[in-house]
Amino acid sequence: MNSITVTCTRWDGGWELEIDEDNITRVRTLANAPAQVRDYLDTVNPDVDHANWRINLELSDEELAARIRGSRQAKLAAQKSQEEAAKDAREVVELLLVNHITANDAAALLGISSGRVSQLRKDVRRREAAQPA
């Protein structure tokens, strides 16, 4: 998938979107910026389909842009950490249950509800069933 980074600068009527120094368009709200950029690119280069291009918005204010990048990176790291924690929880639940520890006791040990233990166990079984033999 192609992607493009657009520099966004605030002005009285909304936002100026700088694709490069020769290609600039405007939009009232940043929520509409990706569609506006695709429309603009389709106009200047109609032979290319821009429908699936990833449009990355970046503020012209470098300090704020850096803070936004940091926030996005932290969010991605948190998502990865959460995925790893869920995987670990599934493995631990399965180990506890294989070792004849009840779902209620497993829940107490892990600090989660017995319903969550059941859900994690179902996730393990679903994943095992989906794997090729």
* CA pair distance 63, 27, nearest whole angstrom: 22
Q: Per-residue pLDDT tens for 9-21?
A: 999 999 999 999 9
12 DSSP assignment: T
Residue 37: Cβ within 10 Å count: 22
Helix ranges restricted to H, 5-113: 33-44, 62-98, 103-110
Assessment of whether the complete model's pTM goes beyond 0.85: no
Ramachandran angles phi, psi of 92, nearest 5° = -65, -45
pLDDT band at 129 (very low <50, low <70, confident <90, very high): confident
pLDDT score of 133 more than 80: no
132 DSSP assignment: -
* CA pair distance 102, 125, nearest whole angstrom: 17
Q: By mean pLDDT, which of 53-62, 75-84, 120-129 is the weakest?
A: 120-129
pLDDT band at 65 (very low <50, low <70, confident <90, very high): very high
Rounded mean pLDDT, 4-32: 97
Rounded mean pLDDT, 40-62: 96
